[in-house]
Amino acid sequence: MKKFIQLGFLAALAVWGSLPGLLAASATQIPFPEALAKAAIVQTRLDHLLENSLLLGNGDVNGVLYSSGDALLMRLTKNDVWDARVDTTNDPPLLKIDIQNKKFSGPIAGSMPSWDRPFPCPRVCAKLVLGANATASAWQRIRAEGRANTWTNRAGAAVMSLEGGAGASCGYRLSGLDLPADRFPVLRVKLSGSANARYYIDVMASDQTALFGSKWIDSPAVPTERRFQLPAGKTAGSIILYTWTVDGKPAENCFTEVAFEGAEKTVPIDLSRLQATPRPSELDIQRAVASIAPPGGGGNPIQIRALAQANVFLVQGDVPARLESVTATYLPPPQHGAEAGCEWVTQLLPGDADWPGMSFAVALAASGSTKTVAIVTSLESPRPLADAIALARRTLNQAGSELIQQHEAAWAAFWSLSGVELDDADLRAMWYRNLYSMRCVSKPGVEAIGLYAGLTNDEPPWHGSHTLNYNSEQTFWGWYICNHAELSEPYERMMHRYLPRARWFAKQTYGLKGAHYPHNVFTHEIPDPENCRSKNNRMHAFPPYAQTIGVSGHVVQNIWLHYKYYPDRRFLAEIAYPTLREVATFYAEFIGRCERTPQGKVILAPSYSPEHWSLAPDFKYNRDCAYDLAYARMTLNAAIEGAQKLGTDSSLAERFRQALASLPNYPTTREADPIVVDVRDAPPIEYNIAVPVVPVFRRSKSPGSPLPMKSGFLPAPWSVSNGAATTPASSCRWPARG
């Protein structure tokens, strides 16, 4: 059976190409239209924010759509909406490393107070509520790890059942309690369960912090009453019941009573209502439109689009709509109001000593069954509220077939650039759906997404940052081979923009020339730290993660991949080579300071193996890291090739060759049949990031000549049969993958 991949022609990309130009130059014929149609996402329910929800976006504004009770909710955000403050006031001085004398000056590990603050982080702009009150008391499934996860009513009792792998669990939450623990200090539960079941009870405070947790408890065989004391001082906002299967076989817990007890009265919890209202939906990813059945299934479906041509969500359907603001204790309260029939929410995101802060506005306009929701930030307008209202109203007045045709034409142009037809239907759907999802959250000219695009909550772990020991790179590296380099443009621009700070960081930490990227980068970084008044020049550098020297090469690999897939000389001269040259200079300088063996090879140290070991004064487990060696080789080779292509920096290229020649082999065990490990003299371990296999996914030498094609164009369509590349009449090869 053959597997086909077809790539449409991509007209010459400008260095930072625009979407309109891309669309105008693209054909609109979609390859394998049936395969694309089959990738539509069809669901019978939307009641789980993570497992049963839909993503809509236009590359800048995006939202996650799900149901609560009889209402639809959509958490709306925009790529540039960040509380971008960095408070380094209480941070220790930045770590300095003397490579030659093997000395550290400053902390080599430990928490940084700037990291412990809730910011910087991206923010949810608002929630769009479509339909009835979404906060009606009903049990909502929030965890479903088993193959089967059910909640049924049995004579007034709630029976939670599941089966799956050993240790799988399911959980259901009831919100909207509002019960002060001072008045209701006791939680009373009566339950029984199967012999292989355990239960866990969480009570969450109204501010979403943990109030009480029972831990896992073996379920009693007969109905048994348990009482749990709640700590005073907070208000119970929600309760969560969990069931666990010890051995993976079918297990169940039967909760017959749940109540909060106080001196004056007892508040029983209704166990009969489950939030399981079926909401059949279909997300047509070809046309980027979600269709959701109304409550009860009668009437026309509700259709929602994130318009490709404007930062506006278009809702069509007979359903009331309103906005809800999203609050945070560390921010000024959002403002919520209405103006001439247009509802709006605004939020100020404060600044710091170097960042001026920003604000955003969300506006909702409605006319009959049509609603429009616009988002505008102060980074693009001096009057975000007025402009958001104007944009929502203007789009509402334009609403009709022409507006939808423009939206669908943009998506048709996008899909015309590539397509796949595979025997494996699941893999084929995954390819299309991932490409759709990325187009929802990325396009040229916008801010790059961090760890949590389409935010599911307003407290994303790891600050929702751009984490550079693989997370951000892997988000953006897959689109070059899909003929969609434009989806990776925001990342490339962000890393190129960061160069002045990366140069400063290399000098500050090591006293070296060139550019060194830290482990974490935030949106709206101040590029030039020399102009910053904050402590440590507003630099957040969490040791030892920020001292992973391989990160810098990993960062620029994507930019080099862009050039290798689309060998445009202007892109090489203005973006790719300047960035590579700076990082290669850092590696050459670093290598020049390292200790050498009698054979003339360097001992590349010190560095931190990504998420393994630590920095140590004796450099134990900080030498010859496979990750560092792989990316130093890649970067030096790429910089040499870039200099040759441009006919420049011949003496610098020779220095890169000398540095390259002095790098040691990858570290291995000392056994008769050695295996690669992450750092020199380290034993094999269970790796969080698979550092020893990093060299497999890059080439130590230049892969040779680029594709035989014109600058900015892809070759004629090609196919793959049984895993081997076969070419059509016009000969071509796979692009180098780095």
DSSP per residue, 138-158: -BEEEEE-SSEEEEEEETTEE
Q: What percent of the chain has pLDDT over 70?
A: 89
Cα–Cα distance measured from residue 2 to residue 660, given in angstroms and rounded to the nearest whole number: 42
pLDDT at 2: 38
The predicted-structure confidence for 616-674, as pLDDT tens digits, reads as follows: 988 999 999 999 999 999 999 999 999 999 999 999 999 999 999 999 999 999 888 99
* Cβ atoms within 10 Å of 106's Cβ, excluding its own: 13
Q: According to DSSP H, which parts of 477-576 are helical?
A: 489-497, 499-510, 550-565, 569-571
CA distance 295 to 297: 5
Q: Does residue 443 sit within a domain?
A: no
Q: 725-729: which pairs have CB atoms within 8 A and are 24 or more residues apart?
A: none
User: pLDDT class for 84, splitting at 50, 70, 90?
Assistant: very high
16-to-21, 239, 425, 492, 630 alpha-carbon distances in Å: 11, 50, 35, 9, 29
Write the burial class of residue 406 (CB in 10 Å: 0-12 exposed, 13-18 middle, 19+ buried). Answer: middle
**697 falls in which pLDDT band (50, 70, 90)?**
low
Is residue 236 a part of any domain in this protein?
A: yes
- What gap in Å lies between CA 384 and CA 373, rounded to an integer? 13
Indicate whether 696 belongs to any domain: yes
pLDDT of 498 strictly over 50: yes
pLDDT band at residue 483 under the 50/70/90 scheme: very high
Contacts of 44 (CB under 8 A, 6+ apart): 278, 279, 280
The contacts found for 703-707 with CB under 8 angstroms, 24 or more apart, are 703/564, 703/736, 704/736, 706/564, 706/567, 706/735, 706/736, 707/565, 707/567, 707/732, 707/733, 707/735
Bridge partner residues of 143 (DSSP): 171
- In this predicted structure, the answer to whether residue 41 has a pLDDT above a threshold of 90 is yes
Instruction: Locate 86 and state its tokens.
Output: 């960095």
Q: For residue 341, is pLDDT > 70?
A: yes
∠ CA 708-712-713, rounded to 5°: 55
**Structural domain ending residue among the three candidates 268, 298, 315:** 268
Q: Identify any residues that bridge with 376 across adjacent strands, giving them in sequence order.
A: 361
- Kindly tell me the sign of the dihedral angle through the C-alpha atoms of 622, 627, 631, 634: positive
In this prediction, residues 402-421 reach a mean pLDDT of 96
511 pLDDT higher than 70: yes
Mean pLDDT (the chain) is: 87
How confident is residue 550, by pLDDT bands cut at 50, 70 and 90?
A: very high
Does the CA dihedral 403-409-410-412 come out positive or negative? Answer: positive
| pLDDT at residue 534 tops 90 | yes
Residue 275 predicted with pLDDT over 80: no
Instruction: Look up the CATH number of the domain holding residue 684.
Output: 1.50.10.10
DSSP 381: -
4 inside domain: no
Distance, CA of 95 to CA of 552 (rounded, Å)? 17
Are the C-beta atoms of residues 193 and 251 closer than 8 Å to each other? yes
Edge-first strand order for the sheet with 724-726 is 418-421, 3-7, 718-721, 724-726
* pLDDT tens for each residue of 44-66: 888 777 778 999 999 999 999 99
**Structure tokens given for 295:** 């409550």
Among 132-136, 453-457, 720-724, name the one with the lowest average pLDDT. Answer: 720-724
Q: What is the DSSP letter of 573?
A: I
**CB–CB of 70/319 below 8 Å?**
no
Q: Which residue has the higher pLDDT, 710 or 28?
A: 28
Stretch among 233-247, 274-288, 566-580 having the lowest mean pLDDT: 274-288
Confidence (pLDDT) at 125: 96
Domain presence at residue 462: no
At residue 69 the predicted structure's pLDDT band, cuts being 50, 70 and 90, is: confident
Strand partners, 705: none
Q: Is the pLDDT of residue 719 over 80?
A: no
Say how many domains are in the chain. 2
Residue with the bigger pLDDT between 24 and 523: it is: 523
Per-residue pLDDT for 459 more than 90? no
302 has pLDDT over 70: yes
Q: In this predicted structure, what is the pLDDT of residue 297? A: 67
Question: Which of 441, 439, 445 is closest to 484 using CA atoms?
Answer: 439
120 prior amide bond cis, ω within 30: yes
| Amino acid 566: pLDDT | 95
- Please state which of the ranges 504-508, 578-582, 715-719 shows the lowest mean pLDDT: 715-719
| Structural domain range at position 183 | 140-268
| Residue 492: inside a domain | yes
Q: How many CA atoms lie within 13 A of 735 on its CB side?
A: 21
Look up tokens 């082999």; give the residue: 665
CA atoms in the 13 A half-sphere facing the CB of 351: 13
Q: Write out pLDDT tens, residues 102-151.
A: 999 988 888 789 999 999 999 999 999 998 755 456 788 889 999 888 88
What's the confidence (pLDDT) of residue 196? 96
Task: Give me the pLDDT at residue 296, please.
Answer: 67
| Burial of 647 (C-beta count, 10 Å sphere; 0-12/13-18/19+) | exposed
CA dihedral of 51, 54, 57, 59, whole degrees rounded to 10: 40
- Residue 154's pLDDT band, with cuts at 50, 70 and 90, is confident
Is residue 55 domain-resident? no
Of 220, 249, 268, the last residue of a domain is: 268
Is 245's pLDDT higher than 90? yes
List the CATH number of the domain containing 162: 2.60.120.260
pLDDT in tens, 195-228: 999 999 999 987 778 999 999 999 999 999 999 9
Confidence of residue 396 (pLDDT cuts 50, 70, 90): very high
